């Protein structure tokens, strides 16, 4: 098992300059290699227009990490005469990053990589060889060339595992994020078998804006509204920045020192809001995974929801994607099960009592009143109950067909429920087993 340990740093001014130099060296190597790749491909395209055969074209450049690094080492003395000031791992990281990006493009997972800007690119650099790791005093760590850097917190949790011989540091990634320098250690740990869960506790979680989440047990988790709490002070600081001389790349005007100080204070508020939101979500997801064995959530179309200008800020402040990400890996680690309901599953329009589906349900209707059975309850609680019933129906289907190899429980973070999510609950319960087998066979 590979896990990451992230530590905030408190470097000196000289160490900050060295860190920026290493991250800039990785960017220079990345851009130089990308230039060579583009030039090689353009040359081959031009030669094809001349009518040359494939074997007569300019040899294709090697886009692997080893090939790009070999080409960079041959030209670094001319391209970057200051290359000896930084660790060789900085340049190797730039070449490896480009090789990964080109591989993703070849596989169809991404577009052609672009050049990294000196102003907008994220500062990062990875070390895989050399002298790096923890220091015995539990408050410092060592990085190649940069030296011993003080950490903002104790490193004893990782240090004890290393001393016991159960952990091994694979690499160290230096990055500047959220206004601070951080180091992330990639650590090899022994695989742990999660404890078997026998209680089969199921919960449906309906994420919302007024309440962060409503559980099928009737519990409502209040929304912390971290951004709204710091919005007033943030507006004041942003007005201060607007009244001072900021940067202008068109005219070449550099920002004033007073603007930089005001911008730094505004960035601190953004950092604090993000940290508080992340801490709230970690506590919420940890409690869910600890108390329940099966968790059902919806596959929300967040990109479409934030187009509503009245709700965009509140939806972004909720952090629904982060909740799903944390539930995914936490259920896998603890032996739980996460079921992601289909995006078109009508959890809010379906009655949790009689499974009657409403044709229309406006956003302003906060209570669900069923015209068939007369049940009246909170809209979000009704959706959470339908999500919990979805997991129960999936488990019942597996118990009814134990000898089929293509019918199995939904894996964590999967959408393996298939066609069952597109029909009302009442129709699903009345379907015959033979019809279910035919549909599932077509799905797999």
| Gyration radius (Cα) of the chain, Å | 27
380 is catalytic: yes
Reported as half-sphere exposure (CB side, CA atoms, 13 A), residue 226 has a value of: 18
* 406 among known catalytic residues: no
Cα 26 to Cα 124: distance, rounded to the nearest angstrom: 8
Q: Is 439 exposed, middle or buried (0-12, 13-18, 19+ CB in 10 A)?
A: middle
Q: Distance (Å, rounded) from C-alpha 25 to C-alpha 90?
A: 6
Q: Identify whether 163 is a catalytic site residue.
A: no
Rounded CA separation 97/68 (Å):
10
Out of 89, 317, 380, 381, the active site residue is 380
Contacts of residue 369, Cβ cutoff 8 Å, sequence gap at least 6: 375, 376
Catalytic pick from 89, 293, 298, 317?
A: 298
Q: Which two tokens stand for residue 232?
A: 């007033």
| Angle subtended at Cα 312 by Cα 307 and Cα 313, rounded to the nearest 5 degrees | 155
Out of 89, 206, 317, 381, the active site residue is: 206
Long-range contacts of 283-290 (CB under 8 A, 24+ apart): 284/212, 284/213, 284/221, 284/323, 285/323, 285/326, 285/327, 285/330, 286/330, 288/203, 288/205, 288/327, 289/327, 289/330, 289/331, 289/334, 289/336, 290/334
- Annotated catalytic residues are 206, 298, 380
């Amino acid at each position: 098992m590979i896990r990451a340990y992230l530590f905030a740093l408190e470097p000196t001014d000289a160490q900050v300059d060295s860190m920026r130099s290493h991250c800039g060296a990785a960017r220079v190597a990345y851009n130089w290699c990308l230039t060579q790749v583009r030039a090689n491909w353009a040359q081959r395209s031009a030669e094809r227009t001349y009518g040359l055969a494939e074997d007569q074209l300019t040899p294709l450049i090697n886009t692997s990490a080893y090939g790009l690094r070999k080409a960079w080492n041959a030209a670094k003395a001319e391209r970057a005469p200051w290359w000896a000031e930084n660790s060789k791992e900085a340049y190797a990281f730039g070449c490896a990053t480009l090789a990964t990006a080109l591989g993703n493009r070849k596989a169809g997972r991404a577009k052609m990589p672009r050049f990294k800007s000196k102003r907008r690119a994220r500062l990062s650099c990875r070390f895989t060889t050399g002298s790096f790791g923890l220091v015995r005093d539990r408050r410092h760590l060592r990085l190649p060339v940069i030296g011993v850097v003080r950490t903002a917190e104790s490193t004893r949790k990782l240090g004890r595992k290393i001393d016991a011989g159960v952990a091994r540091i694979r690499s160290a990634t230096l990055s500047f994020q959220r206004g601070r320098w951080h180091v992330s250690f990639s650590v090899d740990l022994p695989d742990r078998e999660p404890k078997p869960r026998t209680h089969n506790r199921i919960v449906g979680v309906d994420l919302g804006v007024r309440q962060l989440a409503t559980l099928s047990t009737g519990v409502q988790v209040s929304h912390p509204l971290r951004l709204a709490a710091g919005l007033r002070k943030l507006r004041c600081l942003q007005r201060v920045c607007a009244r001072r001389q900021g940067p202008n790349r068109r005219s070449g005007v550099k920002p004033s020192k007073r603007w930089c100080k005001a911008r730094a204070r505004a960035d601190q508020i953004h950092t604090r809001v993000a940290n508080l939101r992340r801490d709230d979500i970690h506590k919420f997801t940890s409690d869910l995974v600890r108390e329940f064995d099966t968790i059902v959530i919806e596959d929300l179309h967040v990109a479409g929801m934030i187009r509503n200008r009245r709700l965009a800020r509140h939806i972004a402040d909720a952090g629904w994607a982060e909740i799903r990400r944390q539930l995914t890996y936490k259920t896998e680690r603890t032996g739980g099960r996460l079921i992601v309901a289909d995006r078109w599953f009508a959890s809010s329009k379906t009655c949790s009592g009689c499974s009657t589906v409403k044709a229309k349900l406006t956003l302003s209707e906060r209570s669900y009143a069923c015209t068939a059975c007369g049940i009246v309850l909170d809209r979000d609680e009704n959706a959470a109950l339908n999500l919990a019933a979805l997991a129960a129906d999936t488990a019942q289907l597996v118990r009814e067909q134990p000898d089929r190899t293509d019918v199995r429980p939904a894996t964590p973070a999967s959408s393996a429920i298939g066609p069952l999510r597109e029909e009302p609950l009442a129709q699903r319960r009345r379907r015959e087993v033979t019809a279910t087998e035919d549909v599932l066979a077509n799905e797999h």
